[in-house]
Amino acid sequence: MDVQYAKQLLEGLADGMNPLTGEVLSKNDVCNDPDVIRALHTILRQLDNGKPSKKLPENTGKPWTKENDEELCHRFDDGSSLKELSYAFKRTQGAITARLERLGKVK
């Protein structure tokens, strides 16, 4: 397996997605544990020679606050797109989808 493909798989897992199918992982999946997400992003940074990946949003791997959750739910209910939510919360679209699932907004 080449490093680029391995990195792509890890990025999918870190975003709360099954990297092979694109499906959102269940909220109980071990890959949705905050420590596991941080570990995956730590390894991904190391693969980039210790530099944060330019394509990862600023809040990647950071914990969600109660205020973030409330605002995310409000914006989602008001019809914001995944792209808009991703930009607003400085997280990947996969992370937004996973959080919305955890909050019971999507299945």
| pLDDT exceeds 90 at position 23 | no
71's CB contacts (< 8 A; 6+ apart) are none
pLDDT value at position 104?
92
**What is 10-56 written as a DSSP string?**
HHHHHTTB-TTT-PBPPTTSGGGSHHHHHHHHHHHHHHTTTSPPTTS
- Residue 22, both tokens: 């694109």
Q: pLDDT digit string (tens) for 38-92?
A: 889 888 888 877 555 567 788 888 889 999 999 999 999 999 998 899 999 999 8
Q: What pTM, to 2 d.p., does this model score?
A: 0.55
* pLDDT score recorded for residue 50: 59
Asked if residues 82 and 5 have their Cβ atoms less than 8 Å apart, the reply is no
pLDDT of residue 48: 76
